Structure 1
Amino acid sequence: MMRNITQLEHAPMKMMTSLTIATLLLATFLAQHCPAAEQTQDRPNFLFILSDDQAPDAMGALGNEDIKTPHLDTLARRGTTFTHCFNQGSWSGAVCVASRTMLITGQTVYRAPRNTPYLDDWAHAKGPLAVHQETAVKLWPEVFRDAGYQTFLTGKWHNSLASVGQGFTSAKSVGEGFYDTHEGSRVKYFDNPGYQRPAADRDRWTPWDPSFHGHWTPAVRDLQSNGELGDAYDVQQHTSELYADAAVDFLTQSKRQASPFFMFVAFNAPHDPRQSPRSFVEQYPPEQISLPANYLPEHPFNNGAITIRDEQLAPFPRTEEAVRVHRSEYYAMITHMDREIGRILKALDESGEAGNTYVVFTSDHGLAMGSHGLMGKQNPYDHSIRMPFVICGPGIPKNRRVNDMIYMQSVYPTTCELAGLSVPESVEFSSVKTLATGESKSGGEPIIYGTYLAFQRLVRTQTHKLIYYPKLDRYQLFDLVNDPGEITDLSADPSHASVLKRLKKRLTQQRTDLGDGMLKSSPSTAQESR
């Protein structure tokens, strides 16, 4: 032993060479086996902002002159806007449930898990997504957490409560699916003051009055140190302000963290009840609000969702006054949310991380708000199946628009690729990374599919849309180039017979490829394949 030490003392160059080789070998081993521990500092951050029920034109930057969204407009100037972003549909009357399940699992509409505890009682929901365990599906935030990211959630989750702990390292103010209005103790749907209005017997309700609860008194939960959500507790604060506070706090604290972050900030706004501070409501006098070009007092036929909760918010038929009131309160709520998003973006700038952060803003689906005589999202028209989608960050061209059709859920694989992470094999939606960065000029979906329960199916190209109502065995065909408002049904027009035939075949193929279990029972299946 003494001889070896003496040899090292008289051979410093040999010692340095040995140590250098050992260091290189150790670094190589760590790079191969512990990438999360050693390589995450250079990875980009992600701030994902999700609104609820925001129509595709409900932003000033997208051409709506009635609405004020200065911070979202700035975000659009800083990055790339996808003008034709879609949700694939729903197996639930609550379309946002299916949309968000597809979002976090990356699985298409008929394969995404349907047994989320949202369908059970909020207070007793336990256990992870059953399908998640059986099919080895990795949740979107789980991919980033496993790669060494701080993963943070605030706001509406609307999936399994237990899955919060699967994907996030921290979560503050996790909200419910939506917050209904009520006076005193909670009441049943349709009995509260937020429905069937405006009407003479509903004039006591105002959007800024906290005594009607809703967004003003949310019940939320926080993620505990054991990885489980704690008990729900009530907060006396508007949901948009509450979630923005949580996001700002996280960004302030993250300055001290070495690892990158993945933030999932999900607003309940502008989902009804349409409540916001009085100063925002007064910015939108109803008489100054434009009616949609495809406004109708009533939908011409029962599309399978006429009696659903969303459609009970305004009386039948929809008067011009009622539509203007609802749209004015809707815009006020979006402008209020926009202010809170501005606070989050300011905190990101002040954190010093903005230059290395991808920011994505989108919504889970759109909303009718008087278009086609409808109020909700349970319909196949563009105002309900489309939503805004803006992305900005390193390498993303500024002030650019992309008209290619994409699915909102493509954000899962896209962010994985932007982070240099492998996309799990279970993810079925395609990445639009090269389309977002401008590396490719085209790469969106050649055709978009949509579904709603057993009542509606659709295929959409850039130029046409075919809608099929299985229960009615009825079609609608629209020329989207000449009729973007989907007003004139061309399904019986002989001059469009070839388009109708071609899209029927494509509809059948999409239903087959995606696994529509109703396909065999549809009356027109044989006709569609001819």
Structure 2
Amino acid sequence: MRLRRKIGLASMLFLSLSCKREKFVEAHARPNIIFLFTDDQSYKDVHALGNPEVITPTMDALVERGITFTNAYNMGGWNGAICVASRAMIISGRTVWNAQEISKSYSQNKELDKTWPRLMEKAGYETYMTGKWHVQAKPEAVFNHVGHVLRGMPFDTPEGYNRPQNENDTAWQPWKKEYGGYWKGGKHWSELVRDDALSFLDSANVKRNPFFMYIAFNAPHDPRQSPKEYVDMYSLDSLKIPESFLPEYPYDEAMGAGKNLRDEKLAPFPRTEYSVKVNRQEYYAITTHLDDQFKIILDKLKATGLDKNTYIFFTSDHGLSVGEHGLMGKQSMYDHSVRVPLVIVGPDIPKGKKIEHDVYLQDLMATTLDLADVRKPEYVEFSSLLPFINNEKDKGNYEAIYGCYEKSSQRMIRKDGYKLIVYPKISKILLYDLKSDPQELLNIADDPDEKGRIEFLLKDLIQLQLEMKDTLNLQALLDKWTEA
């Protein structure tokens, strides 16, 4: 009896200690991470970020529940598929030209252990990916679990280009499934990714390890298709033409975004107000449809109770012009193409806060490592945003924002409220005062009073090029400008 009683007391003590330990581990568990990644979504494509036309209640709720970095940028890209460079940077932690080099190693199955998901896995995370990938590494080689892997953009058809010619041109309709695109396979790709995410959340609910979910939607990339009820939400008569509308951009060929670029072929040349309105209508409609998929995923997260220890990161790989400055694509250095929404929601994240410091969207990788208590490797060139969230910093991580397109087509520096854009092929310089001209409508580069500022910004841009291992030589342009 006494022996049994002692064993009983020992068992009770063990169980008590075990319970306390489990509660301690639960209270101090590493958080779950959900990365909601969209494609071609400008910061202007979210209602809560200043666009009253687009309907995005779920994205708006994320803005209300968390912190928004209102000046988040992508560095650009080495070819027309800007998403390739953006995604290579966020997976590798390297800046644009270094990311291009490391991508070559990925295609040979090298350096994979240094990728974002592998670093999370080493920290004890179950890693999951579904949706658009467009990185040279195979997703199965870097994630524990993989859902549907979708191509860089949905399969499109000739009918989706050079349209609409006029108000009678109604051959293409976003809800017509016979054109394939997002409808190829029977289910809209945004809904396919949503269902994948829901299935993983069901499995994650019964596992003990924290998870890292990389949920990558193709939307709102073209072909901008969605069910008819979403298109019907947007009357063409209610949509405004962008302030920066132009029939043609005067430097499109020099900047590498001419009439032969795929994105620019979507609408007729010269641009018409009607064609821009239709494209924007379809852009908003597929965004609202995407917003509804966000809602279903986040509702599921809450229903499982996993939301209490989950951080949500929402951003896009780059923006899109959709008729601004006479352009349709994302191959420019204007804010509508390089600036994206960036929202963080989760435990202890202040609600409804907006931070104006200039950051890169790729800073999210370092931020998640910080949250997971993973020491940032030296090769990761981007910076954690947690110090801003925790009010530990009052200055930005970067003195200036660097931008590029192709080896020799465009360069940009954004600093001290000004943006300098260079088209090296024609030695053209544009300068915008972003405080007084946020829509980038007035080029003040020819103002004699701005000569000193241009020299200063060009010198800083050249210094940034050195840091980025950018081989384009702008010294001759600086010399020419200085002598003028």
Asked if these proteins are the same fold (TM beyond 0.5), I'd say: yes
Alignment partner of 1:514 out of 449, 460, 468? 468
Alignment partner of 2:164 out of 170, 173, 198? 198
Alignment partner of 1:273 out of 214, 223, 230? 223
Asked if 1:312 is matched to 2:265, the reply is: yes
Alignment partner of 1:152 out of 106, 128, 131? 128
Query: 2:420: which partner in 1?
Result: 466
Structure 2 gap ranges (5+): 15-24
| Distance (Å, rounded) in 2 between the aligned partners of 1:487 and 1:79 | 32
Alignment partner of 2:87 out of 100, 115, 119? 100
Shift of residue 474 of structure 1? 1.0
Contact 1:462 1:480 in 2 (8 A): no
Query: 2:177: which partner in 1?
Result: 210
| Distance (Å, rounded) in 2 between the aligned partners of 1:431 and 1:330 | 31
Identity %, equivalent residues: 41
Shift of residue 491 of structure 1? 1.0
| Distance (Å, rounded) in 1 between the aligned partners of 2:319 and 2:482 | 31
Alignment partner of 1:73 out of 42, 57, 60? 60
Query: 1:292: which partner in 2?
Result: 242
Query: 1:109: which partner in 2?
Result: 96
Asked if 1:493 is matched to 2:447, the reply is: yes
Deviation track 1:487-510 (CA, whole Å, cap 9, x = no partner) reads 111111011122111101111111
Deviation track 1:201-223 (CA, whole Å, cap 9, x = no partner) reads 95311100111000111xxxxxx
Deviation track 1:21-67 (CA, whole Å, cap 9, x = no partner) reads xxxxxxxxxxxxxxxxx999810000000110001111111011101
Shift of residue 468 of structure 1? 0.8
| Distance (Å, rounded) in 2 between the aligned partners of 1:153 and 1:41 | 25
| Distance (Å, rounded) in 1 between the aligned partners of 2:124 and 2:451 | 55
Calculate the aligned-residue CA RMSD, in Å: 2.5
Shift of residue 180 of structure 1? 2.9
AA partner of residue 126 (structure 2)? Q
| Distance (Å, rounded) in 2 between the aligned partners of 1:80 and 1:384 | 22
Contact 1:367 1:375 in 2 (8 A): yes
| Distance (Å, rounded) in 1 between the aligned partners of 2:109 and 2:99 | 8
Alignment partner of 2:288 out of 319, 323, 335? 335
What SS does structure 1 have at the residue aligned with 2:80?
Answer: coil
Contact 1:152 1:261 in 2 (8 A): yes
| Distance (Å, rounded) in 1 between the aligned partners of 2:155 and 2:240 | 27
Shift of residue 462 of structure 1? 4.1
Asked if 1:376 is matched to 2:329, the reply is: yes
What SS does structure 2 have at the residue aligned with 1:293?
Answer: coil
Contact 2:75 2:86 in 1 (8 A): yes
Contact 1:101 1:113 in 2 (8 A): yes
| Distance (Å, rounded) in 2 between the aligned partners of 1:435 and 1:131 | 36
Mark the CA change 1:324 to 1:479 in structure 2 (over 3 Å): closer, same or farther.
same
What SS does structure 2 have at the residue aligned with 1:57?
Answer: helix
Shift of residue 444 of structure 1? 3.6
Mark the CA change 1:519 to 1:414 in structure 2 (over 3 Å): closer, same or farther.
same
AA partner of residue 177 (structure 1)? G
| Distance (Å, rounded) in 2 between the aligned partners of 1:383 and 1:131 | 35
Mark the CA change 1:489 to 1:132 in structure 2 (over 3 Å): closer, same or farther.
farther
Contact 2:109 2:137 in 1 (8 A): no
Which shows bigger deviation, 436-445 or 202-211? 436-445
Query: 2:310: which partner in 1?
Result: 357
Deviation track 1:222-260 (CA, whole Å, cap 9, x = no partner) reads xxxxxxxxxxxxx31101100011101111111100000
Shift of residue 430 of structure 1? 1.3
Query: 2:39: which partner in 1?
Result: 52
Q: What does residue range 364-443 of structure 1 map to in structure 2 within 5 Å? A: 364-443=317-396
| Distance (Å, rounded) in 1 between the aligned partners of 2:155 and 2:481 | 42
Shift of residue 304 of structure 1? 1.7
| Distance (Å, rounded) in 1 between the aligned partners of 2:50 and 2:413 | 26
| Distance (Å, rounded) in 2 between the aligned partners of 1:366 and 1:137 | 30
Mark the CA change 1:388 to 1:484 in structure 2 (over 3 Å): closer, same or farther.
same
| Distance (Å, rounded) in 2 between the aligned partners of 1:406 and 1:509 | 18
Query: 1:123: which partner in 2?
Result: none
Contact 1:107 1:429 in 2 (8 A): yes
Contact 2:123 2:372 in 1 (8 A): no
AA partner of residue 238 (structure 1)? H
Deviation track 1:401-457 (CA, whole Å, cap 9, x = no partner) reads 000000000001111001111112210111111112333333342210000001000
Contact 2:129 2:145 in 1 (8 A): yes
AA partner of residue 175 (structure 2)? W
Structure 1 or 2, whichever has the larger Rg, is 1
Asked if 1:143 is matched to 2:119, the reply is: yes
Mark the CA change 1:85 to 1:75 in structure 2 (over 3 Å): closer, same or farther.
same
Q: How many matched pairs?
A: 462
Contact 1:359 1:393 in 2 (8 A): yes
| Distance (Å, rounded) in 2 between the aligned partners of 1:334 and 1:114 | 33
AA partner of residue 211 (structure 1)? E
What SS does structure 2 have at the residue aligned with 1:112?
Answer: helix
Contact 2:89 2:96 in 1 (8 A): yes
What SS does structure 2 have at the residue aligned with 1:524?
Answer: helix
What TM-score comes out, normalization by structure 1 length?
A: 0.83
Query: 1:231: which partner in 2?
Result: none
Contact 2:201 2:300 in 1 (8 A): yes
Alignment partner of 1:449 out of 402, 408, 420? 402
